[in-house]
Amino acid sequence: MNPSQAAPGSQASLREANRLRVLDALREQGAMTQVELAGATGLSPATVSNMVKELDGAGALELSPSIRNGRRAVLVSLATGNTLLAGIAFGDRDVRVAVATGPRDIVGRQRMPLPANHNADEGMERAARLLHDLVEKAGKTMPDVKAVGVGIPAPVDSVSGQVGSESILPGWRGVDVADEMRGRVGAPVSVDNTSNLGALGELRCGALQGVQNGAYIKLSYGVGAGIVLGGEVFRGIAGTAGEIGHLTIDEHGPVCRCGNRGCLETFIGAHALSDALAGSHGRLTLRDIIAKAIDGDAGCRRVIEDAGRHLGVALAGLVNLLNPEVVVLGGQLSLVGHVLADPMQRALERSAIPSAVASLVVRESELQTDADVVGAVVAAETLYAATEGHLVTITSMA
């Protein structure tokens, strides 16, 4: 046993566990009073008081006066200094927001559903409200947010900063997302495709750490890939690299929302899975399908197995073309594990060059459904460093 570690069951071990419970509660739920902390952690008020004193003395917490139920109280929050970064990831049906002091230290996060085919104004307004709420819960103000990374589930034109396809995410067409969000949050904003941000998150904090050539595959309502070449995310000349969901795998297949036929997304996207089950199960959401598949529902498992087979065929093209070291599977659909991964692997082995498959490692995402949010925080951190170092240049360009 490492002599620096407390023995399991010892007083030191119990104290460390209590410290972690307090920190985890503040990270998940934001600033609270000690009474609220006791309720959230299940610890006694006396234990919480001792933990707060200890953590405050170590500089891990910040204490500030507040009012609760008309009485004076002390609000306890994680220590963040005066610098916060924010990550925002839009999906087809939701938006997720996180505030952090760095990619590995998320102070708080929230998710809010969005209606199908929502427009940009509606999505950005909800995201801004979530961000304001999280900042307030952290005991901070919006000027403490120094930069924001934003991900959208569509190609982002690197020249115009707008959605790079008129038929994908039509409610966002013609919108300069960075400029619009900057006006709502009062901080510099970086915008990228959520699959690219997923790759960035895994590169920095997850399953792609140390990988020079790889890919992150986001499997959600749609399908996308973040390509890593030379240890960096590769976006292509116009910012649209990685659109694996719109690779044609059957030229006579269904018409895709992008206007082409037989795209991968028409076989494994949320609409395709729901349509395949409509006759036997009624209309199911993607979350429903995943939950039922995990619980053993034969029909849901079958359509996901079929999706895995189609994904393997598409991945074979990527593997033959780029010969990556690692492919990471992420997004909601990856949560079904081997139900998707096993048929995908078999199809990949059948369709790709044997030597390319032999040198490939397929991994599950270490960040699961948070990879794009973490990547957005990484992008915010990079943007903040750039604006701090080149403030005069950026101001003159505005």
Rg value, the chain, Cα: 23
Q: Please indicate, yes or no, whether residues 100 and 228 belong to a single structural domain of this protein.
A: no
- Which CATH number does the domain housing residue 19 bear? 1.10.10.10
Q: Do the domain assignments include residue 392?
A: no
pLDDT tens digits, residue range 33-88?
Answer: 899 899 999 999 999 999 999 888 877 787 878 777 667 888 887 776 668 999 99
Q: Please indicate, yes or no, whether residues 73 and 94 belong to a single structural domain of this protein.
A: no
User: Within a 13 Å sphere around the CA of 302, how many CA atoms are in the beta-carbon half?
Assistant: 7
Q: Do the domain assignments include residue 379?
A: no
Q: Do the domain assignments include residue 397?
A: no
Host domain of residue 138: 84-196
Q: Rounded to an integer, what distance in angstroms lies between the CA atom of residue 365 and that of residue 199? A: 10
Structure confidence at residue 164 (pLDDT): 67
Q: Rounded to an integer, what distance in angstroms lies between the CA atom of residue 112 and that of residue 104? A: 22
Q: Please indicate, yes or no, whether residues 175 and 214 belong to a single structural domain of this protein.
A: no
Closest CA to 175 of 191, 188, 162: 162
pLDDT tens digits, residue range 208-250?
Answer: 999 999 999 999 989 999 999 999 999 998 888 999 999 999 9
Q: Do the domain assignments include residue 356?
A: yes
Q: How many domains does the chain have?
A: 3
Q: Please indicate, yes or no, whether residues 225 and 352 belong to a single structural domain of this protein.
A: yes
Q: Do the domain assignments include residue 95?
A: yes
3-class SS shares of the chain: helix, strand, coil, % to 5: 50, 20, 30
Listed residues 196, 223, 241: the one ending a domain = 196
Q: Do the domain assignments include residue 373?
A: no
The pTM (predicted TM-score) of the whole model is 0.78
Q: Do the domain assignments include residue 188?
A: yes
Query: Would you call 304 exposed, middle or buried from its count of C-beta atoms within 10 A (0-12, 13-18, 19+)?
Result: buried
- Which CATH number does the domain housing residue 220 bear? 3.30.420.40
Answer yes or no: is pLDDT of 381 > 70. yes
Q: Where are the strands (E) in 262-339, listed by range? A: 326-330
